Homo-oligomer: A and B are copies of this chain.
């Protein structure tokens, strides 16, 4: 099978790509709300009706590029080495993405990427679209956790929403800092430290959040990590040693 995609299929792919590119180009140049779908259609040399046949809504002209990420965490968990805690797999994966400067982590400062990120974060309807991705990611991850680590259903759901929420928070924080001028490389160490702190929080819980007394960082199995870099811009140097590798 799949000997040839067929002419029809290839044309569809080309049309899809043409519309998407025209859209992104126009959006980056004039802003999402300043460009109408009619303009996009015209630029892509397609009718408005055809555009909506390829993209169900205007937001999808942007969002379809991130569609893969909806099931990414679930796939990572499923593909992870058995016997390893899913959280460990997920943390390693996130750190890997930071290293790669994957835009999904908010740690990519290529001008194009940065502009696109800003546009999404500044456009309410696009943020709403992202939230739908989040919901989808939660569902998929919950199912993956249930299958691979046979976690009870509710526990899997609760874990999934926490994990997804935390990773988006980390990415949002990185993106915010980059838009304030920090370079990805300068931010990297801090991003790693923050990520490790966040995953440690996920693993060990919010017990630390007691009323007045500061946190007792001596968990059995936690290598006494001191408060990882969160205050301000100063990247606190090299990433500290992995601790909760299980």
Please list the residues of chain A having a beta carbon within 8 angstroms of any beta carbon in chain B.
82-87, 124, 128, 131-132, 135, 145, 149, 151-155, 157-159, 161-166, 168-169, 173, 194, 197-198, 201-212, 220-221, 227, 230-231, 244, 246
Contact = CB atoms under 8 A, between A and B. Distances in A.
A166 B85 CA distance: 21
24 contacts: A82-B212, A83-B212, A85-B207, A85-B209, A86-B209, A86-B211, A87-B206, A145-B209, A149-B210, A153-B230, A154-B230, A158-B166, A159-B201, A161-B165, A161-B168, A162-B162, A162-B165, A162-B206, A203-B206, A205-B205, A205-B206, A207-B244, A210-B246, A211-B246
A152 B203 contact: no
Nearest to A230: B154
Given A131-B135, A161-B168, 5 more contacts: A86-B211, A128-B132, A149-B211, A158-B201, A162-B165
Contacts of A154: 173, 194, 197-198, 230-231
A236 to B, nearest CB: 12
B83 A211 contact: yes
Contacts of A208: 155
A152 B214 CA distance: 10
B173 A169 contact: no
Contacts of A157: 169, 173
B152 A206 contact: no
A205 B208 CA distance: 11
A84 B211 contact: yes
Contact of A206 (B82, B153, B202): B202
Pick from A173, A203, A209 the residue with the most CB of B within 10 Å. A209
Contacts of A169: 157-158, 161
